[in-house]
Amino acid sequence: MTLYGMLFHIISAVIIAATAVAITRKNLVHAVVYLIVSFFGTAMLFYLFGAPLLAALEVIIYAGAIMVLFLFVVMMIRAESAEKKVFVPIQWIPAAIFCLIYVLVAAAMAVGTPGMNAPLKMLSASPAQFAIYVFKYQWFSIEVVSMLLLLAVIGALNLGAGRRAGRVDEERRIEDDSALQ
């Protein structure tokens, strides 16, 4: 197996494991952090495949902008966690393992091995060519994703507003009870 094949399998396993950990977390903030780990792994795969533009877009758009949006949504709905401690040491173990694997794989990708002198045929496209392709052939999937994100934000706002309305009603009831006494 070549170095690239080994890196592909390691990164893919970390992506799958980080995503599995993300969907099993009870704490929403921890789930978002593990999704960020998964997105960084996807960016590393894009870079490994010779698509640095897609790797940069993955980090900037998904790991950056969309995950920040998810964090804001999580904060807006104010999901209370049953956990009392914020940083339980056992929860740091999977994150530390994934971080260590990513650092080792990134170092292996950067250093490479001297025996890997076989030139790879690099396909390159300018950002303008990439944009023309995406918006000419993939416009529908982009619109579907944007609608799903919009619906998710509207749903989170609705959930957050419902909880706030319930709290306001409770506060009014308490004020009315105290005024009657």
Least confident of 47-51, 68-72, 134-138, 176-180: 176-180
Of 37, 46, 43, 102, the closest CA to residue 67 belongs to 37
What is the reported pLDDT for 134?
Answer: 83
The answer to whether residues 62 and 39 touch, using CB atoms and an 8 Å cutoff, is yes
Question: Are 60 and 66 a contacting pair, CB within 8 Å?
Answer: no
Contact (CB, 8 A) for 54 and 46: yes
User: DSSP 3-state assignment of 8?
Assistant: helix
pTM: 0.52
Q: Taking residues 166-180, what's their average pLDDT?
A: 65
Residue 8 has pLDDT above 80, yes or no: yes
Q: How far apart are CA 160 and CA 45, in angstroms?
A: 37
- pLDDT band at residue 87, thresholds of 50, 70 and 90? low
Q: How many residues does the chain have?
A: 181
d(C-alpha 83, C-alpha 11), whole Å? 31
Q: What angle do CA 84, 153, 42 make, to 5 degrees?
A: 80
Q: Where are the beta strands (DSSP E) in the chain?
A: none
On the CB side of 152, how many CA atoms lie within 13 Å of its CA? 14
Report d(CA 53, CA 40) in Å as an integer.
Answer: 14
Q: Cα separation of 71 and 118, whole Å?
A: 43
Is 40 a residue whose pLDDT tops 70? yes
Contact of 22 with 38, CB cutoff 8 Å: yes
